[in-house]
Amino acid sequence: MSLIAVLPQRLTRSDRAPTIARILCSASPEVFPPRRTRHDEARIGHESRRRLALHATRNTELRPHALTALLLAAVLAGCATPEPRRATADAVTESVAGAPGTPTPVAVPEPQIVAVPIAKVAAPSPFAPLVEAELEPLPVPAEDIWDRIVKGYAIPDIEGPLVEKWERFYAERPDYVARMVDRSRRYLYHIVNEVDQRGMPLDVALLPMVESAFNPRAYSVARAAGIWQFMPATGRQYGLDQNFWVDSRRDVVAATDGALDYLQRLYGMFGDWQLALAAYNWGEGNVTRAVAKNRARSLPAGYESLDMPDETRNYLPKLQAIKNIVRDPERHGLVLADVPDAPYFAVVKVDRKMDVKKAAELAELSEDEFLALNPQHNRPVIAGADEFTILLPIDNAELFVAKLDLHDQPLVSWQAYRLKEGESIVQVATKFGLSVETLRTINGLGARSRVHGGHLLLVPAERPSSAADVSLSRAVFTVAPQGRTFFHTVRRGETLYSIARRYRVSADELREWNRMPQSAVRVGQQVRVTSDVVPSASSRGRSTRHSRSAATGGAKSVRPPAKATKTQGAAVPARGNPAPSGKAAGPGRTEVPAADSRSRATPPPQARPRTGTSPGASIPPAR
């Protein structure tokens, strides 16, 4: 019996669909047995819908019934819930198939379903768009400074037993090499940069390892000082001040500039870097004479062919051994600590006097680290000029400037004290609570130094004060050399300044020692001089057979004649060329020649203009 046949005939066509749906959804289990599986239900429902669709298209007489059957199939799909008893499509299919006059369905191909992508439309955001933070790109990792130096080698290599000897020397002392490399990390970038900017061989940057092992406070028995081991006279020639407050030969920046100026000048003289380095150690006059001697004999005039002292003969082999170790440390069983090819320090200019200890505190450095970068200061207080240059690690430089700007209290706890007539060093030390050794060290007084009434000493104040600062500003401190004290007789045509130049002291020192309010001197006047340099008679063009005063250049010693003669014999000539050969007197120096080897009478070359400092960021003066 057809399901449609049992519907009330009075129902209109539009009312039949809801009625069929209510009947189907509430049918008993006998009419609509429960579905066995979900898969079967889906398959049967699909087959029923297909057959009903076929029937509706081919039988126009049953079109209303077909439409009703389609509606019935849709209702069945909506009633497919997980309840235990539900209507299935089997009964509907059987009812429709069993209806009178219903033709047998014919299978047709299932229509193809094509998925059409739907364009996505982004809804406008109610929030303002976020601006993505732009980060600076990370800097390129710094190249190792050793690689840069090796790439810049340009001085010809040498070989031989002396090179092998010094290679063994360094290889057998790894701790010494490690200390030397550790000290060099503060200064090496600046030196390499300066050498590179001048177009010089980068081998030259390793020369301080031979000269001083990068010890900025190195001081040889020949009185050479700093990492470049400048002699006093040559240092003055290249603008390196040496006074009570500072010794610029130990100033890393200033001494490097002077040393490179000097090396370039030597290279210009000889046209050969090996001879230039030999002249830097032995003296340009000695090398010039040795070259001329070989040429006169038609002999080779290269470095290895010259007759020279043992110390100079080993000078270039030492440098070559260091070059070989830097090129391949593993081959020599050594490990060189990495030194980045980047600035270590920045240059800071200040115009306020301050204790060294206070400056280190403002920079948040230990006093030892501060002095390692600023070894030129002779005293525990930074003073003696209107403006001072100090070096600080880059990370500490701006911190130092900021804290100094906020510090409005006095920064000096030292003051000037004038020695009274008859007052001794022991009495002054007791008065200010210092040991005699400490007082002498602070003021640069050696064990043999003698000071007289009126001499200014640097002594501690009770506390930092403006008065102590003012006393340092008004005082003229002088260095008391450890040499002889004698009287010079002023001759016709001499002035105070010419006498000062003659004995390598300053006119201010002469005025201080002689309590002279002015610089005027008169012929025959006795001028007190304290100096370790006494000109020989030959420098004045006189014979040593003249009187004793002539032998001492018009100076009468206040010491016994015998000692004066002994001291005089060991003195270094003030003028003239050094002796052609000399006896080794310490690392990197010779006795008599080296004392004047860097103090030729030729005028110093013009200093090259400096547009900036390579160590790092230039920081304006701190006030």
C-alpha 100/C-alpha 102 separation (Å) is 6
Output the pLDDT for position 45: 62
Partner residues linked to 392 by β-bridges:
346
Containing 226, the helix (H) or strand (E) segment is none
β-pairing, 619-622 with 345-350?
parallel
Match 């210009």 to its residue by tokens: 268
Output the pLDDT for position 537: 45
C-alpha 452/C-alpha 421 separation (Å) is 7
Q: Considering the entire predicted model, what is its pTM? A: 0.59
DSSP letter assigned to residue 54: H
Domain 145-341 class in CATH: mainly alpha
What's the one-letter identity of residue 212? S
Q: 126-159, pLDDT tens digit by residue?
A: 544 544 445 555 545 557 899 999 999 999 999 9
Of 409, 398, 451, 408, nearest to 429 by C-alpha is: 451
Domain boundaries, the chain: 4-97, 145-341, 414-536+547-569
Partner residues linked to 382 by β-bridges:
354
Instruction: Decide: 205 and 195 in contact? Cβ < 8 Å.
Output: yes
Taking CA atoms, 419 is separated from 415, 455, 465, 481, in Å, by: 13, 5, 21, 17
Match 């014919």 to its residue by tokens: 106
Output the pLDDT for position 77: 56
Backbone region of residue 619 per phi and psi (left: phi > 0; alpha: psi in -120 to 50; beta: other values): beta
Of 2, 10, 17, nearest to 64 by C-alpha is: 17
Structure tokens at 46: 């699909």
Instruction: Decide: 462 and 414 in contact? Cβ < 8 Å.
Output: no
Of 263, 261, 187, nearest to 226 by C-alpha is: 187
What is the three-class DSSP state of 35? coil
Q: What is the largest CA-CA distance in the chain?
A: 164
DSSP letter assigned to residue 423: -
Phi, psi of 379, deg, nearest 5: -115, 165
**Low-confidence spans in the chain with pLDDT less than 70:** 1-142, 478-485, 532-623
C-alpha 459/C-alpha 438 separation (Å) is 10
Q: 477-529, pLDDT tens digit by residue?
A: 766 555 566 788 999 999 988 888 888 777 877 887 787 888 889 999 999 88
Structure tokens at 608: 């090259």
Instruction: Decide: 211 and 227 in contact? Cβ < 8 Å.
Output: yes
Output the pLDDT for position 608: 37
